[in-house]
Chain A
Amino acid sequence: MTTATTPVRTAERPSAPAVRARAHRPSLRKRLELALLLGPALLLFAGFVLVPIGIAAFYSLFKWNGFGPLDDFIGFDNYVDAFSGDVFQGAIGHNLIIAGLSIVVQLPLSIGLAMLLNRKLRGRAVLRALVFAPYVLSEAITAVIWALMLQPNGFADQVLKGAGLGGLIHNWLADPGIVLYTLFAVITWKYIGFGIILLLAGLQGVPAELREAAALDGASAWQTTRHVVLPLLGPTIRIWIFLSVIGSLQLFDVVWIMTLGGPANASTTMATYLVDHGFKRYEFGFGSAVAVILFVICFVFALLYQRFALRRDTQGALTRMVH
């Protein structure tokens, strides 16, 4: 056992003589072990995550219907076409509206509900479980449920009439001016429970002593919330915003099942546009360009957000990456 000068590893795992000895001779055996342990995961990751992105970047430079030889090189024309098209511009706008509405509507709603539910209510455990239930249903099932409830003269309309709110009834999924907001409401139904659970977990981390101290110093309930609780929820809120925006940018299932992006492209998102052009119309080169654009938008948002908003919160690898 060579216990001589071996400075490596000690920081990580103090008192590891046996291992230290082996680290001293990075043997063939260790390399084989590493290959065995890391190889399969790397292969899988490279083969099905990295390669497709690379392929997309390549195909996006061609005009190609997905069949036949790839010989019609057109440079960045697909990108120019995408950005200059009204429908795609509209789609980006719709994604941004959904993302914006999430932050402006869902976030305060989640915070408010989480605070209200963070009391010693009877049946709180059951309540939390039920609130979370829509989140475990697939978006596909959610979309089907709401498509059926929102049928003209269907459940939603009858409930509104029964409540004396018949004047509010709209053609929820067929009116181009309404459809995007209808879809937003459906998404809110599905995801609000996730926000509430996340924030409830965050609220558990706010020490009761702090609130009591604030109250003793004469702070009102609102002041305590504003200046004590919300800042402490900061990390949770910032993570929520991140997930919510990324989710909004990739919105697909609910929209595709409920409206196919219609009527008249009033609810098209970047992802439905991508599938519509790539698969329905066999514009694979163009579709690849749209995929790359979608990817770059998400990627840039993620990097900027990590850099400027999340840096304080996480010591995780995502932050390390951008330093």
Chain B
Amino acid sequence: MRSRRFGLSVGYLAAIVVLGVTVVPLLFVVLGGFRTNAQINNDPAGLPGPWIPDNYASILGSSAFWTFLGNSALIAVIATAVAVGLGSMAGYALSRYQFKGRESLYTLFTLGLLFPLTVATLPLYLWLRQLGMLESFWGVAIPEAAFSLPVTIVILRPFMHAIPGEIEDAAVLDGASRLGFFWRILLPLSTPALTTVAVLAFVTSWNAYLLPLLVFNDSGHFTLPLGVATFRTQYSQDTARVLAFTALSMIPALAFFVLAERRIVGGLTGSVKG
């Protein structure tokens, strides 16, 4: 009994340390945004005193932040829609049709799991240039969708495969075509898996830095990660402002995480377990 209580208190101690290490940097950013540079320079680890909302106000009042946010959202939505749309169609064909070369086709897609975007980025850039897709949202969203396809298909195929054949037979007897079955029955039944892959594709796109960095020169096209990094170099003398900007940029990801925590955690742990 005593050892169990000892274990518990060690557990709480670990919890507190982990919490501190995780949360303190985030608090530093959020609170720092409410301070002035003088306050930060005099006492980097202090609390705001007095609280100055000016930096937040001016960033929210300027267009740059909203532009980055909008660009990120637009690109992530396109990338997610394309990846999930095409991925579910391919997943359906690969899970419920019988045809020659099915397994090798599936293997080809799974090979994509080994090519993260970083590896392909330089040739991808040259290719996009040739296609005239630089400085275009499509130039970022479409390759991101392409690189999200493997994980989408790898998650969707077993899920769709597991849906009982009797349901399909019933639909066919009721006169549904195979495409009708896919659209009206299989997709709605696959909602949990579709949500998972959508969340994965969205988060990947939302956090991407390298591809937008290469594709966009015009800061009017920048996404949030790119915007944050650029903002920091641009205002390197104005730490408080950079902190406020960073704090605001964290909000969408954290809010999304709070809303979709189960899906994200479940999706990630599920997807890596295969």
State the A residues within 8 Å of B (CB).
Answer: 8-9, 12-19, 23, 26, 30, 33-34, 36-38, 40-42, 44-45, 47-49, 51-53, 55-56, 59, 66, 112-113, 116-117, 119-121, 123, 127-134, 136-141, 143-149, 151, 153-155, 157-159, 162, 189, 193-194, 196-198, 201, 221, 235-236, 239-240, 243, 246, 250, 252-253, 256-257, 271, 274-275, 278-279, 284, 287-288, 290-291, 294-295, 298-299, 302, 314-318, 320-321
Q: Contacts A19-B168, A294-B119; is A136 near B90 (CB within 8 Å)?
A: no
Is B179 located at the chain interface by the 8 A CB criterion? yes
Cβ B98 vs Cβ A41 within 8 A: no
A252 CB contacts on chain B under 8 angstroms: 118, 209-210
Q: Which residues of A contact B1 (CB under 8 A)?
A: none
Interface string of B231-274 (1 = CB under 8 A from A): 01000000100110010011001101110010011001100111
A121/B124 contact (C-beta < 8 A), A18-B169, A154-B44 known: no
Q: Is B61 an interface residue, CB under 8 A from the partner? A: no
Q: Which 5 A-B pairs have the closest CB atoms?
A: A13-B165, A140-B225, A138-B207, A48-B146, A56-B123
Provided the pairs A17-B169, A291-B122 are in contact, do residues A127 and B228 lie with their beta carbons within 8 angstroms?
no
- In contact, A15 and B99 (Cβ under 8 angstroms): no
Residues in B with CB closer than 8 Å to A155 are 28, 44-45
Give Cα distance in the complex from A302 to B150, angstroms. Answer: 15
B86 and A41: CB pair below 8 A?
yes
Is A250 a contact of B118 with CB atoms below 8 Å? yes
Within 8 A of A (CB), among B175-221: 178-179, 182, 203, 206-210, 214
A9 touches B18 (CB 8 A): no
| Cβ contacts under 8 Å, A41 to chain B | 86-87, 89-90, 109, 149, 153
Cβ A130 vs Cβ B23 within 8 A: yes
A15 contact set on B, CB distance < 8 A: 165-166, 169
Q: How far is the CA of A47 from the CA of B207 in the complex (A)?
A: 23
Return 8 A-B CB contacts under 8 Å, by A number.
A14-B165, A16-B169, A33-B179, A59-B126, A131-B19, A145-B26, A193-B22, A253-B209
Q: How many residues of B contact A (CB 8 A)?
A: 107
Q: How far is the CA of A148 from the CA of B45 in the complex (A)?
A: 12
- Decide: A136 near B256, CB < 8 A? Known: A144-B246, A147-B232, A299-B114: yes
B172 within 8 A of A: yes
Alpha-carbon distance between A309 and B44 when the two chains are bound, in angstroms = 47
Cβ B123 vs Cβ A16 within 8 A: no
Q: Nearest-CB distance from A133 to chain B (Å)?
A: 6
Which chain B residue shows the least CB distance to A138?
B207
B106: CB under 8 A from chain A? yes
Check A291 against B123 for contact (C-beta < 8 Å).
yes
The answer to whether A134 and B209 touch across the interface, beta carbons within 8 angstroms, is no
List residues of chain A with CB within 8 A of the CB of B145.
44
Interface 0/1 of B102-114, CB less than 8 Å to A:
0101111111111
| B57-100 vs A, Cβ < 8 Å mask (1 yes, 0 no) | 00000000000000000000000001000110110111001110
Chain B residue at minimal CB-CB distance from A10: B165
Q: Please, which residues of chain B bring their CB within 8 A of the CB of A36?
A: 89, 179
Distance A279 CA – B125 CA, assembled complex (angstroms): 10
How far is B48's CA from A205's CA once the two chains are assembled, in angstroms? Answer: 46
CB distance from B155 to the nearest CB of A (A): 11
Question: From residue A48, how far is it (CB to closest CB) to chain B in Å?
Answer: 4
In contact, A284 and B258 (Cβ under 8 angstroms): no
Q: Which residue of B lies closest to A317 (CB)?
A: B110
| B21 and A9 contacting across the interface, CB-CB below 8 Å | no
- Chain B positions within 8 Å of A278 at CB level: 122, 125
A145 to B224, CA, bound (A): 14
Given contacts A42-B105, A121-B12, 15 further A-B contacts (CB under 8 A): A36-B89, A41-B87, A42-B90, A116-B14, A119-B7, A138-B208, A138-B228, A139-B209, A140-B226, A141-B250, A145-B29, A221-B3, A257-B232, A288-B123, A298-B119
Interface residue B38 (Cβ < 8 Å from any Cβ of A):
no
B94: chain A residues within 8 A (beta carbon): 38
Shortest distance between the CB of B73 and any CB in chain A (Å): 14
Nearest-CB distance from B99 to chain A (Å)? 6
| Minimum CB–CB distance for A16 against chain B, Å | 5
The answer for the CA separation of A290 and B22 in the assembled complex, in Å, is: 36
Q: Is the CB of B18 within 8 A of A321?
A: no
Residue pair A119, B123 in contact (C-beta under 8 Å) = no
Distance A274 CA – B7 CA, assembled complex (angstroms)? 48
Name which of A13, A198, A302 has the most chain B CB atoms within 10 A of its CB: A13
The reply to whether B112 and A45 form a contact with Cβ atoms under 8 Å apart is yes
B107 CB, min distance to chain A CBs, angstroms: 5
Q: Find chain A residues with CB under 8 A from B113 CB.
A: 318
Query: Which chain A residues border B257 with CB–CB below 8 Å?
Result: 129, 132-133, 136
A197 to B269, CA, bound (A): 8
Closest Cβ neighbor of B261 among chain A residues = A129
Known: A15-B165, A49-B146, A53-B123. A317 touches B232 (CB 8 A): no
The answer for the CA separation of A124 and B86 in the assembled complex, in Å, is 38
CA distance A279 to B205 in the complex (A): 22
A39 smallest CB distance to B (angstroms) = 9
Docked complex Cα distance between A71 and B42 (Å): 60
CB-nearest residue of chain B to A128? B265
* B206 surroundings in chain A (CB, below 8 A): 138
